[in-house]
Structure 1
Amino acid sequence: MSKFKKIIICIIALVLIIPLGVYGYVQYKLKDVTTGDTSYISKIEEVDGITNILLLGTDGRPEESAFRTDSMIILTIDNNNKDIKLTSLARDTYVEIPGKGKGKLNTAYFWGKEDLLFETIENEFGIGIDKYAIVDFTSLMDIIYALDGVELNVKESELEQLNKYIPECYKFCKNANKGELQLVEKAGKQTLNGYQALSYSRIRKGDSAINRDERQRKVINAIIKKYKDTSITKYPALIDAVVPYVTTNLNSNEILQLAYTGHNIISGKSLKKAIKEAEFPIIDDVHSKGGMYGKNFYGNTEWVWIYDENSTSVLRDFIYKDIPMNENEYLNDNSQISLKY
């Protein structure tokens, strides 16, 4: 377990795909959710119809009390425009962490858990967040088994690394339906089982952490797509797979309300239109640059993404105004670029 990264993809099954038909069962199972605590109150003025939840995956080991966030995705439920947004925040983004100085975004959680990470995100990007969810990656595998697998398009360039991680994921997988270990034999669109999909989510070598963020969002979309075609008789198994592994400061009423809103959004249009994706910083070698910049709080220089501090307006417009990041007018004029480091 110590070698695995905890991924938060499966929280989608809790806050988006709980159907009203099993309302009573959900109420019963929510007692098993681990209640997280935070004293942080967002300083960003709320926007009616917009709910931002920070989905976190950590690199922590069981014996550790402090660790970094390996994955950070802002899940936005936009009831104004009737869509759902998944915005990855690059873990290596170079930021100012209140009280600690400069460093990578993923270390804010190490120093001050959710409160300090919320404050850092608000100060740097102007996005208001005070709700979060952390889910153990074991739940991801169980959800996918409950769905009889998910369909993903595996690239030829991903195949070697995918199969490299499969034995580890298979060893940790405790699902009774995992069967004999199976590698993925060819590239292309295909159905992956629980430990294969987890392996796909872990790939980093061969391309970059930015591509890994994209793969994680692809798995989220694959889960939601498969859910839409799943019989209601399988809903209890999906809920059973998620709830024991969740830590969140959302209460049961908030979860059910989000589930109701999210379910209506994905039921009313195609997934391609209902779910929008983005990544920040804007990775284009203009509004961000990767390299050895500055120093962290230990005085060490490390590889980071420095970003155009004015491009945060593009991120805010995407989340709050539903303007696609690649269509934002700010990107047409490079005269205001100010790389922050």
Structure 2
Amino acid sequence: MKVFRRVLLGIIAVVVVIIGYIGVEFFMGYQAAKEVNGSQANAPKVVKRKDIPDILQVALVGSDARSLDENGRSDSLMVGQYNQKSHDAKLVSIMRDSYVDIPGYGQDKINAAYSYGGYPLLQETLKDNFAMDVPYYVTITFQSFIDCVNEIFPKGVTIDAEKEMELDGVEIHPGVQKMDGNTLLQYARFREDEEGDFGRVRRQQQVVTALADQVKDVTSILKLPKAVGKLMGSIQTNLPQSFLVECGLDFVQGEVKEINTLAVPVEGSWDFNDNTPSGSVLELDLEQNQQAIKKFLNEE
């Protein structure tokens, strides 16, 4: 009986140490991110876990803001759909030069909506123009993206680069290679060629898919709590952190199927217009794009 008691106490002690280690490492990562990004003066109201549907849609916003207290422009804008039961994942990328009606501001590029009124205005803009009601969102700044990639993927992210490119002093050569956070960001942002936003959206989807596919292989179990803490401290969202960790584990454990993607505007549904107050834009056939999105998300 004494032996059993010792074994039981030993197991309890090990569990306590592990939980304590995870908690401390998570907190250290979270605090490190907060020191860089600052506290969120206008932090969003977090929804309750029980109110999140099995199939949810969440906007993924990459902002050029310098901190989470600023809105900045949505340099990248995607809407992800995730089925928590089937683990099906879909990703709709919306090109930043899409010329839309921003409520209260008139016609402008869609990337301006986040700058004008944060996510509430962007949510309204998505609903009015693309018939997508997206109540949840996650935003991250450029620098936070770089820091999180470097923390979670210390050996880099494997990418098959499409072509020769250079942006913000970063040179990228074609072929399979390991990219650190800054290189990966510039690869996803590059649009200084004949494809413009079309090529950039394709590369952004390539980057998201690579991150999702490789996350389960790159970080040791000892480093994972701090990496997760850093990620949680680097984003702004109205989803519970526990829920995000839960979804993240689905990717880490390999339960999520291949991510299906759609780029908006879809083929044959847009025209270039260089003569607008916003500069060169993409004028869209909204109805055609609404139908394409609806079909892709299986909402018909």
Q: In structure 1, what is the equivalent of residue 260 of structure 2?
A: 276
Cα 1:166–1:223 change in 2 (3 A) is farther
Which of 234, 250, 271 in structure 1 is aligned with 2:223?
A: 234
Write the distance in 2 (CA, Å) between the matches of 1:102 and 1:22. Answer: 52
Over the aligned positions, Cα root-mean-square deviation in angstroms equals 3.4
Write the distance in 2 (CA, Å) between the matches of 1:244 and 1:134. Answer: 11
SS in 1 for 2:56: strand
Matched, 1:191 2:178: yes
Asked if the contact 1:140–1:194 (Cα under 8 Å) also holds between the matched residues in 2, the reply is yes
Which of 209, 233, 245 in structure 2 is aligned with 1:259?
A: 245
Q: In structure 2, what is the equivalent of residue 216 of structure 1?
A: 204
Write the distance in 2 (CA, Å) between the matches of 1:66 and 1:261. Answer: 25
Q: In structure 1, what is the equivalent of residue 91 of structure 2?
A: 86
Q: Please, which runs of 5 or more residues in structure 1 have no aligned partner?
A: 1-19, 168-182, 324-341
Cα 1:276–1:255 change in 2 (3 A) is farther
TM-score (norm 1): 0.66
Report matched runs for 1:315-330 at 5 Å: 315-321=293-299
Write the distance in 2 (CA, Å) between the matches of 1:21 and 1:261. Answer: 23
Offset from partner CA, 1:209-247 (integer Å, 9 cap, x none): 121122122222222222211331231342244233222
TM-score (norm 2): 0.74
Q: In structure 1, what is the equivalent of residue 236 of structure 2?
A: 247
Q: In structure 2, what is the equivalent of residue 288 of structure 1?
A: 270
Write the distance in 2 (CA, Å) between the matches of 1:136 and 1:22. Answer: 28
SS in 1 for 2:285: strand
Cα 1:256–1:38 change in 2 (3 A) is closer
Determine what percentage of the aligned residue pairs are the same residue. 25
Matched, 1:150 2:153: no
Cα 1:99–1:143 change in 2 (3 A) is closer
SS in 2 for 1:274: coil
Report matched runs for 1:1-341 at 5 Å: 24=23, 28=27, 34-35=39-40, 36-37=42-43, 48-60=53-65, 67-146=72-151, 147=153, 148-155=155-162, 158-159=163-164, 161-162=165-166, 164-167=167-170, 184=172, 186-206=173-193, 207-230=195-218, 231-250=220-239, 254-264=240-250, 267-269=253-255, 273-282=257-266, 284=267, 286-292=268-274, 295=276, 302-321=280-299
Write the distance in 2 (CA, Å) between the matches of 1:308 and 1:118. Answer: 16
Asked if the contact 2:216–2:251 (Cα under 8 Å) also holds between the matched residues in 1, the reply is no
Asked if the contact 1:94–1:306 (Cα under 8 Å) also holds between the matched residues in 2, the reply is yes
Write the distance in 2 (CA, Å) between the matches of 1:318 and 1:125. Answer: 13
Letter of the aligned partner of 1:149 in structure 2? Answer: G
